Structure formats: C-alpha cells, structure tokens
Structure 1
C-alpha cells in the first residue's frame, strides 16, 4: 500500500517562518499545501518557479556605451587622484570576511 504523504523537514529562520505562516493563515492555506504546490510547480516546469539570480549592481563593459565607459574611467581617475581608494589587499580581506559569515 502506497503512503499518501511524506514528510519534509526544513530549517527556517523563526521570524521568516512566523511572517510566512501569518500570511498563509490570512489566505487560509496551510504550509503543507504551499509546499505541495511548490513541489508540483518544480515538477511541471522542471525548474524553480521563481528567479534565482544575482543582480549586478554594476554594468559590464559589454553593457556600456562609450560615454558611460569614459565617465566611469574619469570617476576612477578623479577618485585615485583624491586618494579615495583602497588597497587590493584591503578589498580582498573584506570579501573573504563577508563570504565567511
């Protein structure tokens, strides 16, 4: 005899869980139904049904026109001349610390 349900165990931040469950309660939809809906969408679309991307807060060179590139370079030169810069070692240390958290 096949089982009708299976358990899903997931760790969620307590405040996130409380906020989401509050919204689900207002909608009258239990968490198990939402999880089941998510799983069905994953099966139907063979993907996560929402965008998972890292947004770039900067433009790549390919996305810039010549004027935007010149402005960026001029700003960099102005900042460097004014002493508004950091060493590469300092930047990499900050990145390592950020990713370690």
Structure 2
C-alpha cells in the first residue's frame, strides 16, 4: 500500500530531540516509528499501552509508619541484591538533567 497522506503535529522540542536520539540508536527513523505506533493503534483498536497516572510517589521519612519504612528498606535491599542499582555519579547526572541542578 503506498503512503499518500501526511500527519502534522506540534511537539515540544526537548521531547522530539530525546525521542530522535533514542530512535537513532535503534536505527528507526521518526516517520517509521510513528507509522509503527499508528499500526499498533489499529491492531489494538486503541492505544497500544495503558494510559494511567503513575503510582510512584515521593516518600517522606516522617510520613512512613514503621512497617512502611521496613517494606521500603526491604525493596531497596532486594534491588541491591539483584543488581538494580545506579552509581552516585549517575544519580547526580540524572538529577542535573531532570531537575536542572547538581547535588
């Protein structure tokens, strides 16, 4: 089937640049990624992913019960045991990128 129509959209420059960087690493042109997305919408008869608010929320030490704190500590230890960790420099880099400041 030949491609005979265009889609125009306005995107925040930062989002576009970040997505292009990722897609370039994957070797997928932006137009092909959009085509893939729309194909999945048709196949799923809706969005090909859940649309919902994230359940993650910032934890504040003073608001946690003893049991909640214990669960959070256990999750952290499990992450450490299973290798789901980041170096301090990587965390600082991410904080600077996402929040515009160094720690």
TM norm structure 2: 0.48
Rg comparison, structure with higher value: 1
TM norm structure 1: 0.49
